[in-house]
Amino acid sequence: MWQQIIVGLIVAAALLHASTKYLPAGWRRRIVYALARRGLDEDKLAKFFKVQDSCGSGCGSCGSCGPGADSSAPPSPPAARRVIKLHVQR
Render pLDDT for 7-16 as a digit per residue (tens, 0 to 9): 999 999 999 8
Nearest alpha carbon to residue 32 among 4, 51, 55, 13 = 51
d(CA 77, CA 73): 12
Residue 76, pLDDT score: 60
d(CA 82, CA 49): 33
Question: Is residue 83 pLDDT above 70, yes or no?
Answer: yes
List for the chain the helix, strand, coil content (%; round to 5): 45, 0, 55
CB atoms within 10 A of CB 28: 20
Render pLDDT for 43-81 as a digit per residue (tens, 0 to 9): 888 888 888 765 555 555 555 555 555 555 555 666 677
Q: What is the pTM of this model?
A: 0.50
**What band does 6 get if pLDDT is binned at 50, 70 and 90?**
very high
